[in-house]
Amino acid sequence: MLAKRIIPCLDVKDGKTVKGINFVNFRDAGDPVELGAKYSEDGADELVFLDITASHEGRKTFVDMVKRVAANISIPFTVGGGINELSDVERLLNAGADKVSVNSAAIRNPQLINDIARNFGSQVCVAAIDAKYDDGVWTCYLNGGRIPTERSLFEWAKEAQDRGAGEILFTSMSHDGVKTGYPNDALSTLADILKIPVIASGGAGTKEHFKDAFLIGKADAALAASVFHFGEIKIPELKEYLRNNNIPIR
């Protein structure tokens, strides 16, 4: 078993880190630069920064904020939000991102994944998927969970892989912020049908939830926000717990 990754996520809105429940009712969670620096020091394996209203507001990601976060961390850094074309990717990589996360724009224009992979390498392209479980089907959503699509989670994840995405970041809108555990059945299915790493997102509330995401969900990485932002789970303690449960951690 390859080493599993623990990834804090900064959902940024109006220059502040926020956290909601089921993609709504956001509350302030602190300064992104300070939080990023703290997670880097605490032993997080990577950091994800999502400008959560960029697509909805039809604008680009805040590059100056990305630069400030990147300058204060020493771990791989993924940035998403409002990425529609190759020039957006180039600008964020130049600002200090190691990878970019594409979501709404990639569903609207799947060729974007091919273009990013061809120009910058698959390792740069993370296909982020926001999906909700409706009537027995995992439906993909656009614009920060505001617009349902005709695409289903599993067929779109497979297509994103085939087009050159290096990782899938799957966020369950049904589990987001609820803290009852990750969507392990869906994660396990993704792990079975894909050859690329799957990052679990949405539902972390306890250390056991991370363990289950790795053992039952077969995820390669687990992403969380509020449990880290509000000090409910500390990353060094989480890693120690996982090691004690025979889960290889970096």
Catalytic residues: 11, 130
Determine the straight-line distance between the first and last CA of the chain, rounded to whole angstroms. Answer: 12
13-27 per-residue burial string, b: 16 or more CB within 10 A, e: under 16? beebbbbbeebeebe
Q: Are strands 147-152 and 137-142 parallel, antiparallel or unpaired?
A: antiparallel
Which residues are within 8 A (CB) of 57 and not within 5 positions of it... i.e. 6 or more apart?
82
User: Do residues 102 and 128 lie in contact, with contact meaning Cβ atoms separated by under 8 Å?
Assistant: yes
